[in-house]
Amino acid sequence: MSANQLFLAKLDEAARWAQSSSVWPLTMGLACCAIEMMVIPAPQYDISRIGSEVFRSSPRQADLMIVSGRVSHKMAPIVRRLYEQMAEPKWVISMGACASSGGVFDNYAILQGVDQVIPVDVYVPGCPPTPDGLIYAINLIQQQIRTGGRGGILARA
Amino acid sequence: MSNLPEWIAGAGNRPDLDPTAVLTPEPPEVVARGDDEMVLSMGPQHPSTHGVLQVVLGIDGEEVVRAEPEIGYLHTGIEKTAENLFWNQALTVIDRMDYLGPLTNDFAFCLGVERLLRITDRIPRRAQQIRVMFAELTRITSHCIWLGTHAIDLGAISPFFYAVDLRENILDLIEAASGARMNMTYFRVGGVNGDLPDGWLERLDALIAKFPGRMRDLRDLLQKNPIWTDREIGVGIISAAEAVAWGLTGPALRASGVAYDLRKAYPYSTYDEYEFDVPTRTEGDSYARFLVRLDEMEEAMRIVQQVRKKLDPGPVMVDDPTISLPPKPSIGISMESLIYHFKLVSEGFRVPPGDVYAAVEGPRGEVGYYIVSNGENRPWRVRTRPASFYNLQALKKIAAGNLIADVVVMIGSLDPVFGEVDR
Amino acid sequence: MADRSFQTVSTAVDPTAVRQPIDDVDEIVRTTAGQLLEVLARLKSQGYAQLTDVGGVDYLERSPRFDVVYHLTALPTRASGVADVGRPKRARVLCGVDDGAAVPSAVRLWPNADWPEREVFDLFGITFGDHPDLRRIQMPADWEGHPLRKDYPLRGPARDRTPRPPFANKENVGSRVPPTGEVAERLRQEIFERMRGERSGESEATS
């Protein structure tokens, strides 16, 4: 392996380490799952230890969109617009049954899964999932960043 | 991602979905009146709007001239979904309306259906007392989240941690009895779903012992804090007459002077046996609403303590095999139990035709259900009287003439929950 | 030990009957769109200071098809303690409306009628005359149809979504419109008999 390739590989690894240790979520709290999402910075669960306690309200500053709650047809274009406003690289967790597949609401008002409007990386089952489940999902995102997938020095999808 | 079966829709799996297409939402029809007014949309994604609320503000500099809340971003069709589910199944979706106080919704719905079934006086005392206890614990958890998020909106982050810690302790208890932390659907038509586990009452005693210290912490952090008082006193004043006219109920109404609490006005489910006060203030501003809710948390714990002492032994479901499931162990040994279980799970029970309005005092006010039955095993119509819907409507009235920052204070002090507003 | 409410006939299901309340409200009035404002104004002058709720119900095959249901509470309008508030009276006003007919808006009597009337319009299609701002509130502005009508499919009009397995059958309309009068009474008795018979394990005559 040439010296250049080795250097870039190590740089990429460093970049991925930095990105995975500071995944900043976007406050996309919609419904009941948002309450469970809100308690993860609290002392009981504390995602500060994995670097994600900084919930950004502005999509420009966030890496991770946690779609927590049921997405109605009225809200869907707004979720899509916020996803587009996020800068690359970005990841999406679909938290809860409603965001993953429509959940208990198979009706006229609810999008049957937020993956109909944005691509999702990790789905978390539950209604609502316990905060432990969400933390595990963030851990999976970190794993995805560190071991291939989007991110690194190229930072493109 | 392209090796997923075709019927799993997903933006990555659907090459026909154009990922670059921008779906622009339609803005509401708001026309600025006058040259000095600018129209600003606050929300629906906003850190301080407590959920998916869009407030379209007409502003003149920093001052709000008009505020028009736009709701419906969380409309879930719960009422229509409930029309297609059995009565006990409908409870699961109705739980998800006021998701900060889920047992409130259950409580009102169960009371209504029990009235239609004419079994209100046959609900066992223990079930009623457990309902009271859990309703009050839910009230405390709901006010904890209100306090935490309201404080964060105003920049105070520490109270959130104290409040959520208290909430976690209570949720541990609720989870031990009902199986879930949130949206637990613990109440059923005819009683509650399962008795309290062993050792639960001792854990409750530990919580009761810890509570006064934690309330003291929460009060010390905020109540006399000059930043807090400056931002809250005199903001969003609603007079008693206005509050009644705008349909406010709950802490918002009591902070304006009218001591209307459904637990005292129309006592239901053994509430008349407990001694508790109804905190009331007359100023009608956000600080008064804040103090009323803090006092309510203490009154709720007072009720919990009294229920703890008076808890009767006995069954927790009404003794009627056509409504309540038989005990699980009996299914293996009794044919009748098996048949009742089968019929109840596959068909549900029938509720006589009629209509009823049943309301309870929730953390946000009067949560009621107007239930219409056509004699079948599914509701014909479940109309919710959503407390937050009416509380939030008052924002149109009180926001004008204040600063944008005050709008944040007002939304927090009215405490809307959008699962209930939008349903 | 006769439960007196056995003799009640529900106004919801039989629009021509005013029944004995089953203890949930103190006064029930059934009216039509033409007399609605008069009835509401009269009740307001009798002390019903708060409009607690406005809701709609679709009875599909009944004429008039819809009911707009108003719940009122007689709260005091000045600062009052618990003893002064006492047990406020409650009233229910049921206004029958046909498909396509309009109902006068109560917004001038109680300002908080604004949003719930918009919601009834949005979800049922009932228009409210002289409402200041009658537009959709829950559904997106360009939505077609009124979702809570009984003939609107639960899952929405046909659109691209995941197919469901054939055994998951959710038909939208309940199989029976609420029965009226004698039929309702008989059905009620039948259900109560069954509940009582199963409970005691033997059939007993209604007392």
Does residue B383 form part of some domain?
A: yes
Predicted local confidence at residue B26, as pLDDT = 44
Q: Which residues of A touch C155 (CB under 8 A)?
A: 106-108
Predicted local confidence at residue A28, as pLDDT = 85
Contact C72, C29 (CB under 8 A): no
pLDDT in tens, A41-90: 888 898 999 988 888 888 999 989 999 999 998 888 889 889 988 988 88
What's the gap in Å between the CA of B324 and the closest CA on chain C? 11
Q: What is the DSSP letter of B72?
A: -
Predicted local confidence at residue C5, as pLDDT = 36
Across chain B, which has 423 residues, the per-10-residue mean pLDDT values are 38 44 45 69 77 86 86 91 90 92 93 90 92 95 94 91 94 93 91 91 94 93 92 90 92 93 91 92 92 95 94 90 86 88 88 90 94 88 94 89 90 92 91
Does residue B265 form part of some domain?
A: yes
Predicted local confidence at residue C28, as pLDDT = 84
Environment class of A96 (CB within 10 Å of its CB; exposed 0-12, middle 13-18, buried 19+): buried
Does residue B269 form part of some domain?
A: yes
pLDDT in tens, B240-297: 999 999 999 999 999 999 999 999 999 998 999 999 999 999 988 999 999 999 999 9
Inspect the interface and report whether the beta carbons of A108 and C156 lie closer than 8 Å.
yes
Predicted local confidence at residue C143, as pLDDT = 85
Residue ranges of chain C with pLDDT lower than 70? Answer: 1-23, 158-176, 180, 198-207
pTM: 0.88
Of A106 and B290, which is predicted with more confidence?
Answer: B290
Predicted local confidence at residue A152, as pLDDT = 72
Does residue B25 form part of some domain?
A: no
Q: Which residues of B touch A102 (CB under 8 A)?
A: none
Does residue B417 form part of some domain?
A: no
Inter-chain contacts counted by CB atoms under 8 A, chains B and C: 200
Tell me if chain C has a CB within 8 Å of the CB of B326. no
Rounded distance between C-alpha atoms, residue A60 and residue A63, angstroms = 8
Range of the domain at B336: 78-398
- Measured between CB atoms, which of B84, B321, B397 is closest to C170? B84
Residue to substitute from A108, A111, A112, A115, interface C, most C β-carbons within 10 A: A108
Predicted local confidence at residue C178, as pLDDT = 75
Q: Which residue has the tokens 């380490």?
A: A17
Instruction: Determine the residue of chain B that is closest to C194 in CA distance.
Output: B322
Rounded distance between C-alpha atoms, residue B331 and residue B339, angstroms = 9
Predicted local confidence at residue B33, as pLDDT = 58
Rounded distance between C-alpha atoms, residue B145 and residue B138, angstroms = 11
Inspect the interface and report whether the beta carbons of C50 and B244 lie closer than 8 Å.
yes
Predicted local confidence at residue C168, as pLDDT = 55
Predicted local confidence at residue A108, as pLDDT = 86
Inspect the interface and report whether the beta carbons of A76 and B23 lie closer than 8 Å.
yes
What's the gap in Å between the CA of B326 and the closest CA on chain A? 26
Contact A65, A83 (CB under 8 A): yes
Predicted local confidence at residue A81, as pLDDT = 87
Q: Which residues of B touch A100 (CB under 8 A)?
A: none
Amino acid in the structure at residue B199: G
Inspect the interface and report whether the beta carbons of A74 and B11 lie closer than 8 Å.
no
Per cent of chain B over pLDDT 70 is 91
Q: Which residues of B touch A39 (CB under 8 A)?
A: 164, 167-168
- CATH number, domain with residue B186: 1.10.645.10
- Measured between CB atoms, which of B74, B80, B165 is closest to A70? B74
What string of DSSP letters covers C99-158?
Answer: TT-EEE--TTT-GGGHHHHHHHHHHH--EEET-TT---SSS-TT--S-TTSTTS-TT-SS
- Measured between CB atoms, which of C139, C153, C162 is closest to A112? C162
Tell me if chain B has a CB within 8 Å of the CB of C80. yes
Q: Which residues of C touch A117 (CB under 8 A)?
A: none
Inspect the interface and report whether the beta carbons of B352 and C11 lie closer than 8 Å.
no
What string of DSSP letters covers B204-269?
Answer: HHHHHHHHHHHHHHHHHHHTT-HHHHHHHTTSS---HHHHHHTT--THHHHTTTB---HHHHS--T
- Measured between CB atoms, which of C71, C137, C177 is closest to B374? C177
**Subunits with 3+ C-beta pairs closer than 8 A to A:** B, C
Q: Which residues of A touch C148 (CB under 8 A)?
A: none
Does residue B326 form part of some domain?
A: yes
Does residue B151 form part of some domain?
A: yes
Rounded distance between C-alpha atoms, residue A54 and residue A110, angstroms = 29
Our count of domains for chain B comes to 1
What's the gap in Å between the CA of C98 and the closest CA on chain A? 24
Tell me if chain C has a CB within 8 Å of the CB of B393. yes
Does residue B53 form part of some domain?
A: no
Q: Which residues of C touch A112 (CB under 8 A)?
A: 161-162
Contact A107, C157 (CB under 8 A): no
Q: Which residues of B touch C187 (CB under 8 A)?
A: 352-353, 375
Amino acid in the structure at residue B374: N
Provide the chain C residues 24-43 that lie in CB contact (below 8 A) with chain B: 24-25
C-alpha distances (whole Å) from A23 to each of A17, A139, A146, A150, C65 are 11, 10, 12, 13, 55
Tell me if chain B has a CB within 8 Å of the CB of C136. yes
Instruction: Determine the residue of chain B that is closest to A112 in CA distance.
Output: B9
Sheet of strand C90-97: strand arrangement:
C27-32, C90-97, C66-73, C50-58
Inspect the interface and report whether the beta carbons of B375 and C187 lie closer than 8 Å.
yes
**Residues contacting A146, CB < 8 A, separation 6+:** A16, A17, A20
Inspect the interface and report whether the beta carbons of C170 and A106 lie closer than 8 Å.
yes
